[in-house]
């Protein structure tokens, strides 16, 4: 996507003068232990990941022209991507007034359950999966509901504070890492932006039912495996 000629990013403006290099993390970070209150306030108003220009450009490049963001929160990513000419279907269960984002929204955000929003979006939108809540099934359910072929994930990795084991199992089983970017980070966080492409064999499992052979649609987890039984993602068998 082409960068806009005029561009506003108040989150970045608020932190750009507070940067330092963390030699242990080998990353540019904002603040330290003394900035935890400030981090909380800015994350609540904007987004968990610092939206430095290189990170925004990376996300815009890999999202393409149409995006579904079912965990939009404050709508800040939709606000930034919209300035790049990207059409973002932004939704959240509690737009701008949840325990994570309490300062309203930056663009209109539809109040809608995430999996329903993803299903309604169809296949032609990239799924922007930003900081799915830790140790909950939300991230896994969104991946299961998604019918498209690309996910742009923003957050910590499997050892961090995002998603649950089933979400990471689904990504490992059905998706391939295509690109990765390290953003400017808040001190103490280990977030990444990772682009996932659906594996061809997993793509076949999302085809519409047409009658005939019966196939479990989450078979890529491996029917009969502990992951399959534990996932809670298995839809009724459908004819294909």
Sign of the CA dihedral with 127 first, then 130, 131, and 133 last: negative
**Distance (Å, rounded) from C-alpha 68 to C-alpha 53?**
21
Residue 103's SS3 state is coil
Are 167 and 143 in contact by the 8 Å Cβ rule? The answer is yes
Q: Which CATH number fits domain 11-205: 3.40.50.150, 3.30.1360.120, 3.40.50.720, 2.130.10.10?
A: 3.40.50.150
Locus of tokens 């932190």? 15
The neighbouring-strand residues paired with 153 are: 129, 194
Are 74 and 51 in contact by the 8 Å Cβ rule? The answer is no
User: Quick one: how far is CA 166 from the chain centroid?
Assistant: 15
pLDDT in tens, the chain (240 residues): 666 767 899 999 999 999 999 998 889 999 876 677 888 899 999 999 999 999 999 999 999 999 999 999 999 999 999 999 999 999 999 997 777 777 789 999 999 999 999 999 999 999 999 999 999 999 999 999 999 999 999 999 998 999 999 999 999 999 999 999 999 999 989 999 999 999 998 776 664 443 433 334 444 344 444 444 444 444 443 332
Domain ranges of the chain: 11-205
């Amino acid at each position: 996507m082409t960068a806009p000629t005029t561009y506003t990013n108040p989150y970045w403006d608020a932190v750009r003068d507070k940067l330092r290099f963390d030699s242990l993390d080998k990353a540019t970070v904002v603040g330290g232990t003394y900035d935890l209150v400030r981090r909380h306030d800015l994350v609540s108003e904007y987004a968990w990941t610092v939206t430095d220009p290189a990170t925004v450009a990376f996300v815009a490049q890999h999202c393409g022209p149409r995006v579904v963001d079912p965990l939009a929160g404050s709508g800040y990513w939709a606000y930034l991507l919209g300035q790049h000419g990207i059409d973002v279907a932004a939704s959240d269960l509690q737009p701008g007034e949840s325990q994570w984002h309490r300062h309203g929204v930056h663009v209109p955000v539809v109040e809608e359950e995430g999996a329903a929003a993803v299903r309604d979006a169809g296949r032609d939108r990239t799924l922007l999966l930003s900081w799915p809540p830790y140790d909950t099934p939300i991230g896994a359910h969104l991946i299961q509901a998604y019918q498209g072929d690309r996910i742009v994930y923003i957050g910590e990795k499997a050892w961090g504070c995002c998603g649950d084991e089933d979400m990471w199992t689904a990504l490992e089983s059905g998706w391939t890492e295509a690109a990765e970017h390290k953003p400017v980070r808040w001190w103490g966080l280990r977030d990444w932006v990772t682009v996932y492409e659906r594996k061809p064999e997993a793509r076949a499992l999302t085809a519409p039912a047409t009658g005939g052979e019966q196939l479990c649609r989450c078979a890529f987890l491996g029917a009969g495996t502990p992951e399959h039984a534990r996932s809670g993602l298995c839809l009724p068998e459908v004819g294909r």
